[in-house]
Homo-oligomer: A and B are copies of this chain.
Amino acid sequence: MPEATVARLPVYLRALNALAETGRTTVSSEALATASGVGSAKLRKDLSHLGSYGTRGVGYDVQELVFHISRALGLGQRWSVVLVGVGNLGQALAGYGGFDDRGFRIAALLDADPARTGELVAGLPIRLLSDLADVVRDEGVSIGLIATPAAGAQDVCDRLVACGVRSILNFAPTVLQVPEDVDVRRVDLSNELQILSFHEHRKAAEAEVVPA
């Protein structure tokens, strides 16, 4: 399964859920592609990696597709995640309702600041970072979210890896060094802004050269 396809499956899944809520039972590749912001050929090729679940002349059954994509993504089970760093961003993440809907459960909130231990955030008590090993073992955690400042991110990452966590989502603006069997995905706001800045800059330059 191509990595590029995997990255798009969640988008399709969301579009399908939205369609299901409107009562649609079937959808064509063209319609689903438009709703997902991709071309229809690409969509069909992506779906073909899951098997042949479409009906020629009709399209795809919405529920069936939801099931197969969910299964391919491993969403059959509920994944437990641990959130490290309950600051500005961490609190927003803890209070976000969009996790539960999609099969993810925040098992615990950890922070290095002892002054915050015991504080309730979104119904969960903040625990000390030193509890990490216990949390991972007891709660069956397999995904770690890092929302600490950049300075502490690598250390937190190393601890997660030492506890057996092999999937990490990193919000700190750092490139984490990990063993090759560990997956790290970065969400970096400033990066995104700078990429937008580049294009905005380019557009402005073009408008300069060709004013009318």
Contacts and interface: CB of A to CB of B under 8 A. Distances in A.
A100 to B, nearest CB: 11
Interface string A78-96: 0101000000110111011
Q: How often does this chain occur in the complex, in copies?
A: 2
A10 B167 contact: no
Interface in A103-157: 103-104, 142-143
A45 interface: no
Interface string A169-210: 100011111000101010111111111111111111000000
A81 B9 contact: no
Interface residues of A, number: 61
Interface-centre pick from A103, A167, A177 (highest chain B CB count, 10 A): A167
A167 B72 contact: no
Interface of A: 6-7, 9-11, 13-15, 35-37, 72-75, 79, 81, 88-89, 91-93, 95-96, 98-99, 102-104, 142-143, 166-169, 173-177, 181, 183, 185, 187-204
A10 B190 contact: yes
A36 to B, nearest CB: 6
A40 to B, nearest CB: 14
A166 B102 contact: no
